[in-house]
């Protein structure tokens, strides 16, 4: 009985550690999004390290890295509801990984993916209710001067959109390779414009999802295996 209780406590501690990873990523993701949304005008760009790491404020209504799922409200609603269901299921799956004794690597990857999905879900669910719009246009300042419009927090329900219709804030931009010459028009995807690598603008939540997925893809044989906890092993030896 003592060993069984110790094993159960060990599982609870592992799950709490996984939830701590989720919590820390959410805090970092949302803190940066709040800062960018309330201090940057739409399209503003600031160099962080040279020209290859920049903060570039954009918003999107679709998936990770600015991809879209149609422009209609129904497409946005479907995507947000899908995220909500996926995140809900994700917590149960993460708990099951811990209960089944899977290794730390798989649990960390699961926590990264779950945290990323939850981070963008928060934007989609609530940002339209608590933020004013970040439009392309400028507003008139003192003496008729034109000033870029920066969003601000509003009273709940008086933002730019409805519940489940918020836009996801993106800001991380890494144009590591940027050419001035135009790519020949016949080249797929990049033809007719300057070549930039890496071009997508993303956020911390997107990065967490990508890291979790890529590690699983490249190291799945090493990660996807059960690892019996020490308390259970001790119980078997005494049995």
Residues annotated as catalytic (active site), given as ranges: 170, 206
Instruction: Find where tokens 């309330």 sit.
Output: 38
The pairs formed by 75-82 with CB atoms below 8 angstroms and a separation of 24 or more are 76/124, 76/164, 76/165, 77/164, 77/165, 79/124, 80/121, 80/124, 80/125, 80/164, 80/165, 81/164
Tokens found for residue 53? 């790491």
Tokens found for residue 146? 């034109």
Evaluate whether 26 touches 119 at the Cβ level (below 8 Å). yes
Tokens found for residue 69? 């799922």
- Closest by CA to 109, choosing from 238, 219, 228, is 219
Quick one: which H or E segment has residue 85?
helix 73-99
């Amino acid at each position: 009985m003592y060993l069984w209780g110790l094993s159960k406590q060990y599982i609870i501690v592992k799950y709490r550690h996984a939830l701590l990873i989720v919590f820390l990523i959410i805090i970092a993701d949302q803190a940066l999004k709040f800062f960018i949304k309330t201090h940057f005008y739409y399209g503003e760009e600031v160099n962080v390290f040279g020209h290859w790491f920049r903060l570039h404020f954009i918003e999107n209504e679709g998936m990770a890295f600015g991809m879209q799922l149609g422009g209609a409200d129904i497409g946005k609603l479907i995507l947000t509801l899908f995220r909500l269901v996926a995140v809900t299921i994700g917590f149960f799956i993460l708990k099951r990984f811990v209960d089944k004794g899977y290794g730390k690597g798989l649990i960390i990857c699961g926590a990264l993916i779950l945290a990323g999905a939850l981070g963008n879900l928060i934007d989609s669910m609530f940002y339209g209710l608590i933020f004013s719009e970040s439009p392309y246009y400028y507003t008139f300042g003192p003496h008729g001067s034109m000033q870029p419009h920066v969003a601000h927090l509003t009273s709940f329900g008086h933002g730019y959109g409805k519940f489940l219709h918020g836009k996801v804030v993106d800001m991380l931009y890494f144009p590591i390779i940027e050419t001035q010459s135009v790519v020949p028009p016949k080249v797929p995807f990049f033809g007719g414009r300057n070549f930039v690598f890496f071009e997508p603008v993303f956020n911390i939540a997107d990065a967490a999802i990508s890291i979790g997925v890529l590690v699983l893809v490249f190291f799945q044989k090493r990660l996807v295996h059960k690892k019996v906890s020490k308390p259970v092993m001790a119980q078997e030896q005494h049995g």
